[in-house]
Amino acid sequence: MKKKDLRIVKTLSQIDRALLKWLKDTPFQKITVDALCQTAMINRSTFYKYYIDKYDLLDQYLERTLDEFREHVDVEFINATPKKINDISYNQDFSRTLAFILSKKEIYLILWDAAIDRKVYSEMTGVIHDSILSTMVSYTEKHSNQKKYADLYAYLFATNMMSMVRWWFEYSESITQEEVEDIMASNMEKGMFLTFKKQVNEQKRKPADK
């Protein structure tokens, strides 16, 4: 297996970071190749060695990001019954997924809010939706008339999960990963409304901050 050239890896990483830096505060249409090269500390010929133009860079970067997201988001825990949702195997799967997502927090927040033609948040929701449907293949093959309902619940679960992740990012300084795991498990075991009431009651029992 041919080893990667570390110089190339470093250059591509510099270009990626430059793209994110500009996307954070600047609409993509206003970002120039010259600006990207200056931030990445490379010359234009180096940029064009790897990308046709800035649109090619953006598309390739987003596809790599989504492929990585697809690879690390494990939704096997949706097959757990309410009694087994707290089993360690399911907990570990979801815990690894959340740990990966948290490690990409800064990148995801930039891409979700970036002024670009693609809606990355929606595409990630679609990735989870498709992954859930894939785990339900054995069921839908046996009950073909239920495919439309599987599609609905895959969408509901995907939007719920992504909404929870976005909420977590907003309150990550005060909400731990363990709390998020507990909320998701409780949602699947009891339903969202009962989970909400549980969280409210727990907060009431906590001593007030002095």
pLDDT tens, 79-90?
555 555 455 555
Helices and strands, counts by H and E, the chain:
11, 0
Nearest Cα to 22, choosing from 169, 14, 168, 151?
14
Provide the residue type at 81 as one letter.
Answer: T
With contact defined as beta carbons under 8 Å apart, do 93 and 35 qualify? no
Superfamily of domain 1-51: Homeodomain-like (1.10.10.60)
- What is the 3-state composition of the chain as percent helix, strand, coil, each rounded to the nearest 5? 80, 0, 20
Distance CA 42, CA 37 (A): 5
* Model pLDDT for residues 40-63, shown as the tens digit of each residue: 999 999 999 999 999 999 999 999
Instruction: Answer positive or negative: Cα dihedral of 28, 25, 31, 14.
Output: negative
* Model pLDDT for residues 112-146, shown as the tens digit of each residue: 999 999 999 999 999 999 988 887 765 556 656 66
**pTM value surpassing 0.85:** no
